[in-house]
Structure 1
Amino acid sequence: MFIKPDNNPDLQKALTLAHRPSRPGALGASFTFGWRALLKIKYVPEQLFDVTAFPIMFLLMFTYLFGGAISGSTGEYLDFVLPGILVMSVSMITMYTGLDLNKDIQKGIFDRFRTLPFWRPAALVGALLVDAVRYLIASVIMIGLGYLLGFRPENGIGGLALGVLLLLFFSFSLSWIWTFLSLVVRTEKALMGISMMVLFPLTFLSSVFVDTSTMPNWLQKFVDVNPITLVVNAVRGFVHGGVTGGQLSTVLIVSAALIVVFAPLTMYFYNNKK
């Protein structure tokens, strides 16, 4: 039954409010979208499989399969390889923000969000912030397992924490690449294929598993300028001591450059996608 506003004082009052709710700020909108991403994890906890089983599998496999052959001791190799696998594992899961955004585009939610009056980048920033939580979870699991296996950072907990913070910043910047590509490619399968095609060579052709000095000269030249190698060397330096200002500044510059290039590109395509 239709109720006329004149016959319903409460309804009439609601329809004639002089003040509309204030527009949400950039921070509030970003946290709202971050909460949305957390709710996805709550209702589909299988999403955390990649930050739990994946790091554990790689650490155990490479430590006990190759540790004795490469270093002669699984204990020594564990201290060397854990920072590298930590960087590799976190870097591999940076694609998931792009995958989630691509799903929103296919389902039409993307178009609905663009009609709402909030700070446009909030939908992306909120999701990226929650991904930083995923990266932190993966790091904690990896380090916890490492301690159970006998890993000990020579530079103490402080150096280990600084190494993780540097990795989180690099991963945040790397996520912008996949967020940008999610607006360009048509399907999430295509995006996953592109990300794997880029990440697998970068992570395996790096200093994650072995010292680059053992490689042929022609390969070493490429590996030494690989961004993953730069991050691994800096994190390893924080963990075991010996990190240099050059290593740290190089990683920060590379990370900042990724954000400067891909964040504006992402927002341009986000605002103009049809």
Structure 2
Amino acid sequence: MHPLVSAIHDVARHHPGKVALRWNCHDFPYAAVDRQINTRALAMQLKGVRAGELVAFAAAPGPDSLVESAALWALGAAGLPLHSGAEGTLPAHAILEQATGFMHPDGDYLKAAPGSGTAPSFPPAVWLHEEPAAGPTAVDLQEFTAVLEGAEKRFSLSTRTVLGLSSMVHPGSMIDVWAVLAAGGTVDLINHHESLTGDCLGQHLRETEADLLVVPSALPRRLRDVPGAVFAQFRDVMVLEPFDRNSRTALADAFPCAIFHHWDPSTAFEDMSDYCPADFVAGTNHQPKDSHA
């Protein structure tokens, strides 16, 4: 079993109810999700999925896609989520993205035709960054562990609830989900946020128990659909890309009580910069001594 999946299971076994997913206001203790992962992994193995393969699958909002990814990791394979709206062309897209096979929604596993030479082996990936020029790149366990250790030290993930505004099509945005689960925290999962109405998104942001948020690319634009809304419960907001001033202003207005943390994923986690809302908008590093004073 992939060490990440195993680590989450250990936390779930020793601290029942501590590790949890929340989806559409319903709690899913990870101990229950654990059983789904094992069942799905066995089904995949019987269908022919093997370690080292890069398996594409149709991603959908909710815990099911998380289970699919974790089941692949448990088998030593890597997962490549593809948008379920393009169902007719998914196998073709999977092959173009260097996938070695495609898990069809009806349960069949379609292996790609072997090319010339030795087939590449893909490690069980924590997530995959989609780079148009280079194809998908796996982030290995060692790299993820380094990020997790830095995040736990800085944010105490094991005691936090994070709002999982994740895109299953761009799993690079899922650092928040897997890091918090691995640390023993709780994820309030809203991974279809781009398709929500403004009123519904605003309701989720107001009612969530989370106080930590990793900002996806589309969130500043979506916040314009809830003008004037303030979400004061958030203590930490992490940004992974350089937003323009209008986007920074939208974020600062929506989360006025948060410390903004900018991290370039190509650098060490310790190199993250901290900003108060005003300095985040201005682009001036503030480095507050006590981010939650």
Under TM normalisation by the shorter chain, which class is it?
under 0.3
TM-score (norm 2): 0.25
More strand by share: 2
Name which structure has the greater RCO, CA cutoff 8 Å, separation 6+. 1
More helix by share: 1
Larger Rg: 1 or 2? 1
